[in-house]
């Protein structure tokens, strides 16, 4: 009896989701990362196929776990929202992040940034932006037929993919949404959300207070529901409270 020789089993490739390093080296860098990521998420909140992440490991080549980078912010148009331990491109229909942001800190070296540029050029990034908050220096690259080319003038530059505008004034960088509204800080976003919550609570209380008065005016449940943009069931429930 001739036994068949089984091919050797290939070891499973592990794709780490962390290198043990902090997301940012200082509060300024972290603030910029959060601001850009959250505002872009807000911008595309209604589009289920725009994935935005911060400091997420991106593996472009299956089986090659040494080929990896973790952009400060990456944007992938055409891939669904949702949590990921890392971005494995072959599991994402081969779609590479189209837009990448890096925020410099004093610890970043020129060699490190040169390697990042080569990585993003090689693996398909279409737009690459670097901002140095200490020097208020903004640089950008845009993909052409020959790869990533330097954008010669960044003042009032508009991202082809995101449609956001870059405004680098003497006071620092400002980013603007397509509707002209500027990007908000995390504190401003939180404050706005709290104000919206309070307005909603006040509006709800005003409707509750209006129901008894309208009932005293001999309006029917159906008329009150129509006037207050509520369902008949909601009016009946509120009237019984």
Q: What is the pLDDT of residues 133-192, one digit of tens each?
A: 999 999 999 999 999 999 999 999 999 999 999 998 777 899 999 999 999 887 787 776
How far apart are the C-alpha atoms of 128 and 5, rounded to whole Å?
50
Q: Give CA–CA dist 127/117, Å, rounded.
A: 11
State the pairing for strand pair 87-88/99-103: unpaired
The helix or strand, by DSSP H or E, that contains position 214, with its residue range, turns out to be: helix 186-216
Would you say the C-alpha torsion 33, 153, 147, 98 has a positive or negative sign? positive
pLDDT of 191 reads: 76
Task: Supply 121's token pair.
Answer: 């050029």
Prediction pTM value = 0.76
Dihedrals φ, ψ of 170, to 5°? Answer: -65, -20
Low-confidence spans in the chain with pLDDT less than 50? none
What 3-state class would DSSP assign to 60? coil
Rounded Cα–Cα distance for residues 137 and 81 (Å): 31
Q: What pLDDT, on a 0 to 100 scale, did the predictor assign at position 192?
A: 67
For the CA atoms of the chain, what is the radius of gyration? Answer: 26
Contact 150, 138 (CB under 8 A): no
Q: How far is CA 133 from the centre of its chain?
A: 20
Question: What's the pLDDT score for residue 52?
Answer: 98
Round to whole Å and give the CA distance between 157 and 140: 9
Residues 69/116, Cβ–Cβ less than 8 Å: yes
What pLDDT score does 10 carry?
A: 63
């Amino acid at each position: 009896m001739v036994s068949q020789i089984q091919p050797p089993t290939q070891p499973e490739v592990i794709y780490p989701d962390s290198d043990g390093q902090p997301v940012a080296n200082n509060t300024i860098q972290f603030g910029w990362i959060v601001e850009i990521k959250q505002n872009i998420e807000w911008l595309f909140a209604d589009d289920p196929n725009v994935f935005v992440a911060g400091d997420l490991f991106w593996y472009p080549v299956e089986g090659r776990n040494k080929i990896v980078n973790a952009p400060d912010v990456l944007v992938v148009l055409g891939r669904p929202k949702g949590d990921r331990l890392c971005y494995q491109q072959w599991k994402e229909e081969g779609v590479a992040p189209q837009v990448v942001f890096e925020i410099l800190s004093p610890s970043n070296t020129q060699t490190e940034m040169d390697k990042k540029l080569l990585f993003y050029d090689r693996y398909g990034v279409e737009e690459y932006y670097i901002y140095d908050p200490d020097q208020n220096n903004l640089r950008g690259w845009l993909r052409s037929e020959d790869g990533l080319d330097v954008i010669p003038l960044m003042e009032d530059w508009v991202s082809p993919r995101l449609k956001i505008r870059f405004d680098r004034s003497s006071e620092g960088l400002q980013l603007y949404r397509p509707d002209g509204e500027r990007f908000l800080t995390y504190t401003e976003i939180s404050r706005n959300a709290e104000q919206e919550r309070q307005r909603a609570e006040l509006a709800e209380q005003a409707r509750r207070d209006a129901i008894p008065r309208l009932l005293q005016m001999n309006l029917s449940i159906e008329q009150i529901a129509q006037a207050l943009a509520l369902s008949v069931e909601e009016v009946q429930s509120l009237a019984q409270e």
